[in-house]
Amino acid sequence: FTTPEVYGSTKKWIKENNLFFPSTPYANSRSTMDNHLLMLYRNYKFPVIFTRASNVFGPGQKLYRIIPYTILCALNRKKLYLVGGGKSERSFIDIEDVSNALYKICLKGKLGATYHISTNRLIKIVDLVKLISNKLNINYKDFVIFKKENAGKDLAYKLNSNKIRNELRWKDNIDLDTG
Protein backbone atom coordinates (compact mmCIF):
# COMPACT_ATOMS: atom_id res chain seq x y z
CA PHE A 1 0.00 0.00 0.00
CA THR A 2 1.60 3.20 -1.10
CA THR A 3 0.27 6.67 -1.87
CA PRO A 4 -0.50 8.93 -4.83
CA GLU A 5 1.56 11.55 -3.02
CA VAL A 6 4.67 10.02 -4.64
CA TYR A 7 3.58 11.69 -7.89
CA GLY A 8 3.19 15.15 -6.43
CA SER A 9 0.37 17.31 -7.74
CA THR A 10 -0.98 16.01 -11.04
CA LYS A 11 -2.49 18.23 -13.73
CA LYS A 12 -3.82 15.40 -15.88
CA TRP A 13 -5.03 11.86 -15.23
CA ILE A 14 -1.88 9.78 -14.82
CA LYS A 15 -1.11 6.11 -15.31
CA GLU A 16 0.87 3.80 -13.09
CA ASN A 17 4.13 4.42 -14.96
CA ASN A 18 4.14 8.16 -14.21
CA LEU A 19 7.41 9.51 -12.80
CA PHE A 20 7.64 10.41 -9.12
CA PHE A 21 7.75 14.10 -8.12
CA PRO A 22 7.18 14.06 -4.35
CA SER A 23 6.61 17.48 -2.82
CA THR A 24 6.73 16.69 0.90
CA PRO A 25 9.14 14.77 3.16
CA TYR A 26 6.45 12.12 3.68
CA ALA A 27 5.93 11.64 -0.06
CA ASN A 28 9.67 11.52 -0.61
CA SER A 29 10.10 8.78 1.99
CA ARG A 30 7.29 6.76 0.38
CA SER A 31 8.73 7.15 -3.14
CA THR A 32 12.12 6.03 -1.81
CA MET A 33 10.56 2.88 -0.33
CA ASP A 34 8.65 2.20 -3.55
CA ASN A 35 11.86 2.47 -5.56
CA HIS A 36 13.67 0.24 -3.07
CA LEU A 37 11.00 -2.47 -3.26
CA LEU A 38 10.91 -2.25 -7.05
CA MET A 39 14.68 -2.72 -7.16
CA LEU A 40 14.34 -5.81 -4.92
CA TYR A 41 11.70 -7.18 -7.28
CA ARG A 42 13.77 -6.54 -10.41
CA ASN A 43 17.03 -7.90 -8.97
CA TYR A 44 15.84 -10.70 -6.69
CA LYS A 45 12.20 -11.35 -7.69
CA PHE A 46 11.02 -10.12 -4.28
CA PRO A 47 7.23 -10.58 -4.43
CA VAL A 48 5.72 -7.11 -4.37
CA ILE A 49 2.68 -5.44 -5.90
CA PHE A 50 2.12 -1.70 -5.49
CA THR A 51 -1.30 -0.18 -4.90
CA ARG A 52 -2.03 3.52 -4.84
CA ALA A 53 -5.54 4.37 -3.74
CA SER A 54 -7.20 7.75 -3.90
CA ASN A 55 -8.75 9.13 -0.72
CA VAL A 56 -10.39 6.19 1.04
CA PHE A 57 -13.42 6.75 3.26
CA GLY A 58 -15.85 4.62 5.20
CA PRO A 59 -16.70 3.11 8.57
CA GLY A 60 -13.90 3.11 11.12
CA GLN A 61 -11.99 5.88 9.39
CA LYS A 62 -9.70 8.02 11.52
CA LEU A 63 -11.63 11.04 12.76
CA TYR A 64 -9.06 13.59 11.59
CA ARG A 65 -9.79 12.75 7.91
CA ILE A 66 -11.83 15.32 6.01
CA ILE A 67 -15.18 13.48 5.82
CA PRO A 68 -15.57 12.44 9.47
CA TYR A 69 -13.88 15.65 10.63
CA THR A 70 -16.33 17.78 8.63
CA ILE A 71 -19.25 15.86 10.12
CA LEU A 72 -17.90 16.28 13.66
CA CYS A 73 -17.23 19.99 13.21
CA ALA A 74 -20.64 20.62 11.68
CA LEU A 75 -22.60 18.69 14.30
CA ASN A 76 -20.63 20.08 17.23
CA ARG A 77 -20.48 23.65 15.89
CA LYS A 78 -16.68 23.56 15.88
CA LYS A 79 -14.62 25.54 13.37
CA LEU A 80 -13.28 23.70 10.32
CA TYR A 81 -10.24 25.33 8.77
CA LEU A 82 -10.06 24.81 5.01
CA VAL A 83 -6.46 25.29 4.01
CA GLY A 84 -6.04 26.90 0.61
CA GLY A 85 -9.74 27.67 0.51
CA GLY A 86 -10.52 24.01 -0.11
CA LYS A 87 -9.48 24.32 -3.76
CA SER A 88 -7.54 21.07 -3.90
CA GLU A 89 -9.27 18.26 -5.77
CA ARG A 90 -9.46 14.64 -4.72
CA SER A 91 -11.17 11.44 -5.71
CA PHE A 92 -12.91 9.74 -2.80
CA ILE A 93 -13.40 5.99 -2.83
CA ASP A 94 -15.37 3.84 -0.41
CA ILE A 95 -13.43 1.27 1.61
CA GLU A 96 -15.64 -1.54 0.27
CA ASP A 97 -14.54 -0.72 -3.28
CA VAL A 98 -10.90 -0.60 -2.17
CA SER A 99 -11.27 -3.95 -0.38
CA ASN A 100 -12.75 -5.50 -3.52
CA ALA A 101 -9.87 -4.10 -5.59
CA LEU A 102 -7.28 -5.45 -3.15
CA TYR A 103 -8.92 -8.87 -3.21
CA LYS A 104 -8.71 -8.99 -7.00
CA ILE A 105 -5.12 -7.78 -6.92
CA CYS A 106 -4.16 -10.48 -4.40
CA LEU A 107 -5.74 -13.16 -6.57
CA LYS A 108 -4.69 -12.05 -10.06
CA GLY A 109 -2.36 -9.06 -9.80
CA LYS A 110 1.04 -9.26 -11.46
CA LEU A 111 4.16 -9.22 -9.31
CA GLY A 112 6.12 -6.00 -9.71
CA ALA A 113 3.06 -4.20 -11.08
CA THR A 114 1.35 -1.06 -9.80
CA TYR A 115 -2.42 -0.60 -9.67
CA HIS A 116 -4.30 2.66 -9.13
CA ILE A 117 -7.50 2.27 -7.14
CA SER A 118 -9.62 5.30 -7.80
CA THR A 119 -12.94 6.60 -8.99
CA ASN A 120 -13.22 8.78 -12.08
CA ARG A 121 -14.81 11.64 -10.14
CA LEU A 122 -12.88 14.53 -8.65
CA ILE A 123 -14.34 16.93 -6.15
CA LYS A 124 -12.88 20.07 -4.64
CA ILE A 125 -12.58 19.84 -0.87
CA VAL A 126 -14.77 22.91 -0.42
CA ASP A 127 -17.47 21.24 -2.52
CA LEU A 128 -17.14 18.07 -0.45
CA VAL A 129 -17.66 20.12 2.72
CA LYS A 130 -20.72 21.75 1.12
CA LEU A 131 -22.08 18.33 0.11
CA ILE A 132 -21.71 17.02 3.66
CA SER A 133 -23.19 20.21 5.11
CA ASN A 134 -26.22 19.93 2.83
CA LYS A 135 -26.78 16.33 3.91
CA LEU A 136 -26.71 17.51 7.54
CA ASN A 137 -28.93 20.55 6.81
CA ILE A 138 -26.23 22.85 8.17
CA ASN A 139 -24.89 25.91 6.37
CA TYR A 140 -21.16 25.38 5.80
CA LYS A 141 -20.58 29.12 6.29
CA ASP A 142 -21.54 28.65 9.95
CA PHE A 143 -18.47 26.55 10.73
CA VAL A 144 -15.90 26.86 7.91
CA ILE A 145 -12.94 29.24 8.06
CA PHE A 146 -10.70 29.59 5.00
CA LYS A 147 -6.93 29.68 5.48
CA LYS A 148 -3.99 30.14 3.14
CA GLU A 149 -2.33 27.15 1.54
CA ASN A 150 0.43 25.17 3.26
CA ALA A 151 3.84 24.80 1.61
CA GLY A 152 4.15 21.65 -0.47
CA LYS A 153 0.40 21.02 -0.65
CA ASP A 154 -0.56 19.08 -3.77
CA LEU A 155 -3.59 20.46 -5.60
CA ALA A 156 -4.75 17.20 -7.17
CA TYR A 157 -4.11 13.48 -7.44
CA LYS A 158 -5.70 12.33 -10.68
CA LEU A 159 -5.20 8.58 -10.78
CA ASN A 160 -6.18 6.81 -13.99
CA SER A 161 -7.55 3.44 -12.86
CA ASN A 162 -8.12 1.90 -16.30
CA LYS A 163 -5.43 -0.74 -15.72
CA ILE A 164 -7.18 -2.44 -12.80
CA ARG A 165 -10.55 -1.98 -14.50
CA ASN A 166 -9.39 -3.66 -17.71
CA GLU A 167 -6.90 -6.27 -16.46
CA LEU A 168 -8.74 -7.41 -13.34
CA ARG A 169 -12.33 -6.46 -14.25
CA TRP A 170 -12.70 -4.25 -11.18
CA LYS A 171 -15.03 -1.28 -10.85
CA ASP A 172 -16.08 1.04 -8.08
CA ASN A 173 -19.69 0.56 -7.03
CA ILE A 174 -20.30 3.01 -4.19
CA ASP A 175 -20.32 6.65 -5.23
CA LEU A 176 -19.43 9.49 -2.89
CA ASP A 177 -23.05 10.59 -2.37
CA THR A 178 -24.16 7.09 -1.37
CA GLY A 179 -21.09 6.38 0.73
Report the pLDDT value the prediction gives residue 100, as an integer from 0 to 100: 98
> DSSP letter at 85?
G
Report the pLDDT value the prediction gives residue 149, as an integer from 0 to 100: 78
pLDDT of 37 over the 90 cut = yes
What is d(CA 164, CA 171) in angstroms, rounded to the nearest whole number? 8
% of the chain with per-residue pLDDT over 70? 100
pLDDT of 35 over the 80 cut = yes
Report the pLDDT value the prediction gives residue 148, as an integer from 0 to 100: 86
Instruction: Report yes or no: 3 and 27 within 8 Å, Cβ to Cβ.
Output: yes
Report the pLDDT value the prediction gives residue 151, as an integer from 0 to 100: 72
Per-residue b/e over 119-140, b at no fewer than 16 CB within 10 Å? Answer: beebbbbbebbbbbbeeeebeb
pLDDT of 173 over the 90 cut = yes
What is d(CA 55, CA 53) in angstroms, rounded to the nearest whole number? 6
| pLDDT-derived band at 96, boundaries 50, 70, 90 | very high
